[in-house]
């Protein structure tokens, strides 16, 4: 028999032997430091591929925008009410940067061999009526921007004899009397009149009530007409009546989409976006015409205001003002143009019995009469 001391001395040797037998099989592992370095380099490259500034702009922003806009479209179809947090999240997307990039792409001169294919695809996607254009040869337009802002041929639009006509082609989002400080941008969704126009410093009138400070005749009220220009519409807009522009205020806001279904989700959308407000007078008193910017609208150009520069770098809260003096504008006269679709908002003073001969959702053409009474007078 082995003495206990001898058995204890063998335990350190026997113990590992049993452990080695019971240990499960392990696959061969590469312990080379060179291999580990290569793996870390590959993982770092994969991370940098998706986390660089370029990938954020070219991958994450388009992907996130597409997912969020699609989700907004689904919610709009089921009358979902958007929370303030969701609106703030949507506003965080760099739409101004992407719009400037899109503006440069749209202004790039295309090879003649590609123009027919690119413009033809655009025509099919957005149902463009090329027969109304002054030039129907697609090779004539050097860039997408030139095609967007194509002029109409003579006789393509009839200017009504009414006092006020539609300034552009598009779809009516809302029209009717605006007899309070809160105005409907679409049914059930409002925006503030004072936030939209800004402080009333274009007149010497002193009135604590902002609404009354705009009116020349206290027996009149304000009326509004909001027209959305789709990407396939005629992108130039004209003066809707004979009026005199005296003041311009440019709000360097954001460039959120002004699509009708998105306008139903975001209250005060038109007070958030970049816009150029032109104020003056017509035969009934106060008159304003506002061009509202939107996503992928590289610029808003006003022919009588070459100093206006939109979608520029800098703080979004900037407000630029300009006294225009007395700029007379005739009905049907060219006023400006958009790159891609956007919105025109008319706010004007008129008698209480002024009624629009159109409703929300109606398609209108430039030069079409706005009111039923004016339509009867023109017969």
Q: Which residues are catalytic?
A: 169, 238, 342
With 0-12 / 13-18 / 19 or more C-beta atoms within 10 angstroms meaning exposed / middle / buried, residue 255 is buried
Residue 95 three-state SS: helix
Closest Cα partner for 351 from 248, 188, 222?
Answer: 222
Q: Which residues of 167-203 are buried (b: 16+ CB within 10 A; e: fewer)?
A: bbbbbbbbbbebeeeebbbbeebebebeebbbebebe
Whole-number Å distance between alpha carbons of 39 and 99: 39
CA atoms within 13 A on the CB side of 148: 26
Task: Output helix, strand, coil percentages for the chain, rounded to the nearest 5.
Answer: 35, 25, 40
**Is residue 271 a contact partner of residue 282, using CB atoms and an 8 Å limit?**
no
Parallel, antiparallel, or unpaired for β 285-292 and 275-282?
A: antiparallel
With 0-12 / 13-18 / 19 or more C-beta atoms within 10 angstroms meaning exposed / middle / buried, residue 143 is middle
Closest Cα partner for 273 from 305, 226, 231?
Answer: 226
**Is residue 256 a contact partner of residue 185, using CB atoms and an 8 Å limit?**
no
């Amino acid at each position: 028999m082995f003495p206990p001391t001898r058995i204890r001395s063998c335990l350190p040797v026997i113990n590992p032997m049993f452990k080695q037998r019971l240990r499960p099989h392990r696959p061969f592992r590469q312990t080379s430091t060179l291999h580990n370095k290569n793996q870390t380099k590959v993982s770092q490259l994969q991370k940098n591929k998706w986390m660089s500034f370029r990938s954020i702009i070219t991958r994450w922003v388009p992907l996130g925008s597409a997912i969020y806009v699609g989700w907004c479209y689904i919610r709009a179809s089921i009358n979902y009410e958007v929370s303030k947090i969701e609106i703030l999240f949507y506003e965080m997307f760099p739409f101004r940067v992407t719009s400037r990039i899109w503006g440069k792409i749209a202004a790039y001169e295309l090879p003649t061999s590609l123009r027919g294919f690119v413009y033809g695809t655009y025509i099919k996607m957005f149902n463009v009526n090329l027969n109304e254009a002054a030039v129907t040869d697609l090779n004539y337009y050097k860039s997408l921007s030139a095609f967007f802002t194509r002029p109409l041929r003579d006789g393509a639009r009839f200017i009504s004899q009414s006092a006020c006509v539609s300034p552009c082609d598009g779809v009516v989002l809302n029209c009717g009397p605006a007899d309070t400080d809160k105005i409907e941008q679409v049914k059930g969704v409002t925006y503030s009149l004072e936030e939209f126009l800004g402080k009333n410093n274009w007149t010497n009138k002193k009135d604590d009530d902002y609404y009354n400070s705009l009116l020349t005749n206290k027996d009149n009220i304000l009326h509004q007409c909001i027209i959305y220009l789709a990407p396939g519409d005629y992108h130039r807009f004209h003066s809707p009546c004979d009026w005199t522009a005296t003041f311009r205020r440019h709000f360097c806001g954001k460039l959120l989409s002004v699509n009708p279904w998105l306008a139903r989700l975001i209250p005060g959308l038109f007070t958030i976006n970049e816009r150029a407000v032109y104020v003056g007078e017509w035969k009934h008193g106060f008159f304003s015409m506002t061009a509202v910017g939107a996503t992928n609208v590289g610029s808003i150009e006003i022919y009588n205001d070459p100093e206006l520069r939109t979608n520029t770098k800098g703080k979004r809260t900037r407000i630029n003002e300009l006294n225009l003096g007395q700029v007379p504008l005739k009905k049907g006269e060219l006023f400006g143009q958009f790159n891609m679709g956007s919105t025109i908002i008319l706010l004007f003073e008129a008698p209480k019995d002024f009624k629009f001969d159109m409703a929300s959702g109606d398609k209108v053409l430039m030069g079409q009469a706005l009111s039923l009474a004016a339509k009867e007078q023109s017969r």
